[in-house]
Amino acid sequence: MADVVALGEVLIDFTSLPSDGYPVFEANPGGAPCNVLSAVCRLGHTGAILGKVGMDSFGILLKETLDRVGVDTSWLAMTPDYFTTLAFVSLDKQGDRSFTFSRKHSADIMLDVEDVSDALLQQARIFQCGTLSLTHEKSRRATLYALQKARSYGLLISVDPNLRENLWPDALAARNAMFLVMEYADILKISDYEVSFLYPDVDCETACTLIKQTCPFLKLLIVTKGRDGASLFFQDTWYSSPSFLEVETIDTTGAGDAFCGAVLAFLLDRKGGVESLDESSCRELLLFANAAASLSTTRRGAIEAMPSRSEVLGLLSSH
């Protein structure tokens, strides 16, 4: 049994390294769903991935990496017909990143309904997904099937839109996909940029009120703001927390996923889950997730950059 089942892209992030000549890239295993699961596992819980990789050196590297961090790969499909998806990550001087994808006819968009295990979902507590798997028809069907099954089995559904505009034909298609997945969400972790992408003409707080009106199951809404920390909206009350700026940031890839994984781990730690939150625990949740996200930026890559519980608690105690 896995506490958290995540569905979606499993890929290699080629992260740029300092170079005096032509660009040099380091192959780092990643993909938002895997990053979230790695964070969940590093923080003491269990996770399983529903995804597809090529039966090539990168696919093997991804499986071995996920196995090493404790993510269950029993349902990770490996295909000889398609190549593992690649993402090239460029970093600026602050460690912030931009993405270029090699994804046409790649393995992650070939995930199919047949690859979704009902038995795995039935035994889980939380289902996690984003919107990248909605860019192509086959993986879109698989995602919606899994969301419908997760809802019918009573799982807590966590959504992080993880917007990548260059993977969509236009902004309208991206917005529609985001709203489609968000309609299933009990928990929504969304960046301030994504909020403004959905509602460009209103302030963030008003936009979040509009988001709540379009998400019938939404219990917990969290807006991440990079170096400015995060805000949480629960039972008509806003809570905010800053980032831990004392850490030395070198790569922000996967920071939002570390935050999301820490939120899920925090809720799994509590017997009552989301419903048991109060003012004190909402503030604790934000601090815990911000600490995890900040620590993840001190290492390159994503899956293996996720901090352990002792590291998170150490940063919290020294703050």
What does the mean pLDDT of the chain come to? 93
Mean pLDDT, rounded, for 162-166: 92
Per-residue burial over 63-100, b = 16 or more CB atoms within 10 Å of its CB, e = otherwise: bebbeebebbbebbbbbeebbbbbbbbebeeebbbeee
What would the mean pLDDT of 167-177 be, rounded to a whole number? 96
Q: What is the pLDDT of residues 227-264, one digit of tens each?
A: 899 999 999 899 999 889 889 988 888 999 999 999 99
What tokens does 193 get? 């940029």
Query: What is the pLDDT at residue 318?
Result: 87
Q: Confidence band (pLDDT; 50, 70, 90) for 96?
A: low
A 10 A CB-CB count for 204 gives 14
- What pLDDT does residue 24 have? 85
Q: Are 250 and 300 in contact (CB under 8 A)?
A: yes
The pLDDT of residue 95 is above 70: no
4: closest CA among 58, 57, 70, 48?
Answer: 48
**The total number of residues written for the chain in this structure:** 319
* More confident call, 19 vs 129: 129
Distances (CA, A) of 145 to 62, 175, 228, 244, 285: 25, 20, 36, 38, 30
